[in-house]
A and B are shown apart, each in its own frame.
Chain A
Amino acid sequence: MDFGFTIAAYAVAGVLFILSLGGLSGQESAKRAVWYGIAGMAIAVFATLIGPGAELWWLSIILIALGAIVGHQLAIRVQMTQMPELVAIMHSLVGLAAVFVGFNADLMINNIAEIYEANGLVLGAIEDGGYKAIGLPKEINDGLSAFGQLIAKKTGVEIGILRVELVLGIWIGAVTFTGSVIAYGKLAGKVDSGAKKLPGGHLLNASAVILSLILSIMYLSGAGSWTLVLLTLLALFIGYHLIMGIGGADMPVVVSMLNSYSGWAAAAIGFSLGNDLLIVVGALVGSSGAILSYIMCKAMNRSFVSVILGGFGGPAGEQMAVEGEQVAIDADGVATALNEADNIILIPGYGMAVAQAQGAVSELTNKLRARGKNVRFAIHPVAGRLPGHMNVLLAEAKVPYDIVMEMDEINDDFPETDVAIVIGSNDIVNPAAQDDPNSPIAGMPVLECWKAKQVFVSKRGQGAGYSGIENPLFFKDNTRMFYGDAKDSINKLLPLIE
Chain B
Amino acid sequence: MKIGTPKETFEGEARVAMTPDSARQLQKLGYDCLIEIGAGTRAGFSDATYEEAGVTVVGSAADLWAQADIIAKVRQPESSELGYLTADKTLISFFNPAANEEGMDAAKTAGANVIAMEMVPRISRAQKMDALSSMANIAGYRAVIEAGNNFGRFFTGQITAAGKVPPAKVLVVGAGVAGLAAIGTSTSLGAITYAFDVRPEVAEQVESMGAEFVYLDFEEEQQDGAASGGYASVSSPEFREAQLAKFRELAPEVDIVITTALIPNREAPELWTEDMVKAMKPGSVIVDLAAEKGGNCKLTVMDEKIVTEGGVTIIGYTDFPSRMATQSSTLYATNIRHMMTDLTPEKDGQINHDMEDDVIRGATVTYQGEITFPPPPPKVAAIAAQKPKEPLKELTPEEKRTEEIAAFKAQTKQQVTLLSIGALLVLAMGLIAPASFMQHFIVFVLSVFIGFQVIWGVAHSLHTPLMAVTNAISSIIILGALMQIGSSSILITILAAAAVFMASINIFGGFLVTRRMLAMFQKS
Residues of A within 8 A of B (CB): 17-18, 20-22, 24-27, 30-31, 33-34, 37-38, 40-41, 44-45, 48-49, 53-56, 59-60, 63-64, 66-68, 70-72, 74-76, 78, 80, 83, 86-87, 90-91, 93-94, 96-98, 100-101, 103-105, 107-108, 111, 144-148, 155, 157-158, 161, 255-256, 259, 262-263, 265-267, 269-271, 273-289, 291-292, 295, 379, 381, 386-389, 391-392, 395-396, 398, 400-404, 406
| B452 sits at the interface (CB 8 A) | yes
Contact status B480-A292, CB under 8 Å: no
Give bound CA distance, A388 to B501, whole Å: 29
Contacts of A87 in B (CB 8 A): 464, 467-468, 471
Q: Which residue of A lies closest to B451 (CB)?
A: A287
Contacts of B280 in A (CB 8 A): none
A-B pairs with beta carbons under 8 Å apart, 20 shown: A24-B458, A25-B462, A31-B519, A45-B482, A48-B482, A60-B482, A75-B509, A75-B516, A87-B471, A148-B487, A161-B434, A262-B471, A278-B480, A279-B443, A281-B474, A283-B447, A292-B466, A391-B461, A395-B520, A401-B522
Contacts of B466 in A (CB 8 A): 21, 24, 288, 292, 387-388
Q: Which residue of A lies closest to B441 (CB)?
A: A271
Contact status A146-B486, CB under 8 Å: yes
The listed residue (B448, B465, B471, B499) touching A24 by CB distance below 8 A is B465
Number of CB contacts from chain A to chain B under 8 A = 375
Residues of B479-495 contacting chain A, CB below 8 A: 479-489, 491-493, 495
Contact status A387-B463, CB under 8 Å: yes
Contact status B499-A25, CB under 8 Å: no
Contact status A41-B501, CB under 8 Å: no
Give bound CA distance, A334 to B481, whole Å: 58
Residues of B within 8 A of A (CB): 433-434, 436-437, 440-441, 443-444, 447-448, 450-452, 454-489, 491-493, 495-524
Contacts of A107 in B (CB 8 A): 489, 491-492, 495
Q: How far is the CB of B426 from chain A (nearest CB, A)?
A: 14
Known: A284-B470, A387-B467. A30 touches B462 (CB 8 A): yes
Main secondary structure of the interface of A (DSSP, over half): helix
The listed residue with most B CB atoms (<10 A of its CB), out of A44, A49, A74, A392, is: A392
Contacts of B460 in A (CB 8 A): 295, 379, 381, 387-388, 391, 406
Q: How far is the CB of A93 from chain B (nearest CB, A)?
A: 4
Contacts of A98 in B (CB 8 A): 477
Q: Which 5 A-B pairs have the closest CB atoms?
A: A55-B486, A67-B504, A388-B463, A400-B524, A71-B508
Other contacts beyond A71-B510, A90-B468, A93-B475: 17, CB < 8 A: A37-B469, A44-B476, A53-B483, A54-B482, A67-B501, A71-B506, A75-B512, A100-B481, A100-B496, A111-B492, A266-B477, A267-B444, A269-B480, A275-B479, A275-B480, A295-B460, A401-B521
Give bound CA distance, A269 to B495, whole Å: 15
Contacts of B451 in A (CB 8 A): 21, 283-288, 291
Contacts of A155 in B (CB 8 A): 434
The listed residue (A27, A111, A392) touching B459 by CB distance below 8 A is A27
Contacts of A148 in B (CB 8 A): 487-488
Contact status A30-B502, CB under 8 Å: no
Contact status A48-B498, CB under 8 Å: no
The listed residue with most B CB atoms (<10 A of its CB), out of A91, A147, A157, is: A147
Contact status B508-A94, CB under 8 Å: no
Contacts of B484 in A (CB 8 A): 101, 104-105, 108, 145, 147
Q: Which residue of A lies closest to B432 (CB)?
A: A157
Contact status B504-A68, CB under 8 Å: yes
Contact status B509-A86, CB under 8 Å: yes
Contact status B505-A100, CB under 8 Å: no
The listed residue (A30, A100, A111, A284) touching B488 by CB distance below 8 A is A111
Contact status A401-B476, CB under 8 Å: no
Contact status B450-A158, CB under 8 Å: no
Known: A48-B479, A100-B481. A392 touches B507 (CB 8 A): no
Contacts of A270 in B (CB 8 A): 440, 480
Contact status B471-A90, CB under 8 Å: yes
Contact status A146-B489, CB under 8 Å: no
Give bound CA distance, A33 to B465, whole Å: 11
